[in-house]
Structure 1
Amino acid sequence: MKKIITLLIFTLALYSCKLTNQNDEETEGGKANTTVKDSTVVNDKDENGCLASAGYIWSKVNKECVKGFSGIQLNPISNPDNEDETLSAYVLFSEDAEKAEIFLPNDTTSMVLSRSAEGKPWVFKDWQLVPWKGYVLKKGTENKFAGDGEIGKKVTETDTEQ
């Protein structure tokens, strides 16, 4: 009787190990199939490898992908209290501050302005970035954008009392 019970326990233990091993294999195969079925490959990288859907664009000055609304925000002169980031221009500077890259609204490319000396404006064709009470971006003699020189989005109103 002891031999039969021992044999029965041994058989059950061996059989349960086999079931556990099969379940592990099914789970691993199931995960692989689920991953393939549920994943979607999105390839919206630009020619420089920047992920456009995440808001990244290529910076010619910094030679890397940057967030589109990063840098110094310059609001349109016609709407200085603008809160719509898509209507603003953005400025990124090179490490030595000799070059300024301008990202204009509704434009997928940027332009790089250079300056001849510290304190002088950055210039490219008829565009100028003038350091005055922050920065003023001019096209010809017309002021187009201006900002206080602070990096990032400007918040003009808050929901909390101070």
Structure 2
Amino acid sequence: MKKIATLCILSIIIYSCKLTDQNDEDVQVTTNTVAKDSSVVNDKDENGCLASAGYVWSKVNKECVKGYSGIQLNPMDDANNEDETVSAYVLFNEDASKAEVFLPKDTTSIVLTRSAEGKPWVYQDWQLIAWKGYVLKKGGENKFSGDAEMGKKVLGSDTEQ
């Protein structure tokens, strides 16, 4: 009787180990399948900024930023614009000698520099002028303007959203 009991216990142990090995293989196959079929999208740009979260690379600040977190400049033909996608945004470096402008529907930014305090920031035919907030010009034409406050504003309110 002892021999039969020992044989049964030994058989159960061997069978259990076989099931454990088989479960490990199933887990590995499942893991590999998930990794291959994963719908996680890697949409980081060449600088590591997560584009789907609204981050872009700031050339003047040397970091990922939300471009629309800068100073909002609305199109001159629609000063009461509430559509953020048609606005330009400006970020400055620490000493305000450079202004980085993110234009609507453009994936890159332009960096304007100023020669001295009180002078406009300039790059080719673009100019950013500090006047009653800021005015962004291209050539001689005013394109965008806005106050000097950061972030999205609620029209008819004196607080930021």
TM-score (norm 1): 0.76
- Deviation digits for residues 94-150 of structure 1 (CA, Å, limit 9, x no counterpart): 222101111222334332221122233212344322223322223355432222222
Q: Superposition pairs for residues 1-20 of structure 1, below 5 Å? A: 1-20=1-20
Q: RMSD between aligned alpha carbons?
A: 2.9
Name the amino acid aligned to 1:30: T
Shift of 1:157: 7.1
Three-state SS of the structure 1 residue aligned to 2:69 is coil
Q: Percent identity?
A: 67
Three-state SS of the structure 2 residue aligned to 1:69 is helix
1:21 aligned residue = 21
2:146 aligned residue = 147
Matched residue pairs, number? 157
Three-state SS of the structure 2 residue aligned to 1:8 is helix
Gaps in structure 2 of 5+ consecutive residues: none
Q: Superposition pairs for residues 33-48 of structure 1, below 5 Å? A: 33-39=33-39, 45=45
**8 A Cα contact 2:43 2:51, kept in partner:** no
Name the amino acid aligned to 2:20: T
Gaps in structure 1 of 5+ consecutive residues: none
Three-state SS of the structure 1 residue aligned to 2:154 is coil
1:127 aligned residue = 126
Q: CA–CA distance in 2 between the matches of 1:12 and 1:106? A: 68
1:107 matched to 2:106? The reply is yes
- Choose 25-34 or 135-144, whichever is displaced more: 135-144
- Deviation digits for residues 63-97 of structure 1 (CA, Å, limit 9, x no counterpart): 44433423211111221221111210111112221
